[in-house]
Amino acid sequence: MSVYVGIDVHRKRSQIAVVDHDGTVQVNRNVPNGVETVLEVTGDLPIGTPVAFEAAFGWGWLVELLEDYGYDPHLVHPLQCKAIASARLKNDKVDAATLGQLLRGDLLPEAWISPLDVRQQRALLRHRAQLVRLRTRLRNRIHAVLADLGHDRAGGFCTAPGRAWLAELPLPDASRRVVDDLLAVMDGLQPPIDALDKQLNAQARGDPRVAALTQLPGVGTLTALMIVAEVGDVSRFPSARQLASWAGLTPTVRNSDRTVHHGHISKQGSPWLRWIMCEAAQTAKRHPLFAPAYQEMARRRGKKIATTAVARKLLARAYHVLRELHDQQTTPHRRAAAHRPTPTATHAG
């Protein structure tokens, strides 16, 4: 008998519902997160049982658990699932059972489950980006302290001459303490950032996708690595527009009768891919490939919207680069499989 499992995942506990082929909820239990507690509910289910859960906080451990024990995990898009299964009564039991029922009816709006190596690569790149963001915030706080006291330096204070200038400034005791502490934390962030750069650059040297992407305007090695990690398997996107939509770089559309209104970008998708493309667009918008269109749009719509448009166009070019490399790598395997002789069965005489 076929069964379907829906799991409403939370940080410490999860609600697990088991639905049979007739839609009857056989089990609906709340358990602490962990291998043993989850298997207490699902351990007796047959291998290959489909399990649905939303892309909520901390779902990676659950994917590994389900795959290790032979179940079929299905990651659910949370916003689309809420649109399909909106109900007056909403609690963990209802949510878990609803996931099981949607799985049973083949109505799940599924999201791609990235392999473990892709998730690990994303974790490294996101960690580096967060460290750099923290360093920038600390630097801005020092600028704020200096500006409050009427001090400024055109070249900044991060270079050796800038540090010497900062050390000689006649600052009040409290301000000097704040500046020195912030500088110490900034200096402490530099070794892990340098170590990450060394590791990531070593990984990039053997990846043809990175080499191809760095030929695009505004795309350096670390930017290319983040594009590769965030996109993952590029063949899951049938077109560049769908990738741009997944990154949240396409405009929202509201259509009523014959009236069509295009709004701002949706921002529903990968925030990391959207961020890195907008960062790359800051340089790419000055390149001859994008500069004329950027300047025209900036004049009509403003610089911010024009930069976002460049980010979308740059992502489209990145898509075609990755798709071409993917097709080149898969075609030889297909040809080899087509020409491989079919094994014939032999029988003992």
Q: Are strands 72-76 and 259-265 parallel, antiparallel or unpaired?
A: unpaired
Distance of CA 241 to the CA centre of its chain: 17
**The predicted structure's pLDDT at residue 74:** 92
CA distance 24 to 100: 10
The number of beta carbons lying within 10 Å of the beta carbon of residue 141 is 16
**The predicted structure's pLDDT at residue 91:** 80
Contact 100, 54 (CB under 8 A): no
**The predicted structure's pLDDT at residue 184:** 96
pTM for this entry: 0.83
pLDDT tens digits, 72-87: 999 988 776 765 556 6
The string of DSSP letters for 222-289 reads: HHHHHHHHHH-SGGG-SSHHHHHHHTT-SEEEEEETTEEEEEEE---S-HHHHHHHHHHHHHHTTSTT
**The predicted structure's pLDDT at residue 242:** 93
pLDDT tens digits, 331-349: 765 555 555 655 444 333 3
Q: Where are the alpha helices (DSSP H) in 85-233?
A: 92-104, 116-148, 160-168, 173-204, 208-213, 221-231
Computed on alpha carbons and rounded to an integer, the radius of gyration of the chain in Å comes to 26
Which residue positions in the chain have pLDDT lower than 70? 1, 80, 82-89, 253-263, 332-349
Contact 285, 307 (CB under 8 A): yes
Of 248, 224, 236, 228, residue with least CA distance to 75:
236
CA distance 233 to 269: 16
**The predicted structure's pLDDT at residue 348:** 38
Contact 75, 59 (CB under 8 A): yes
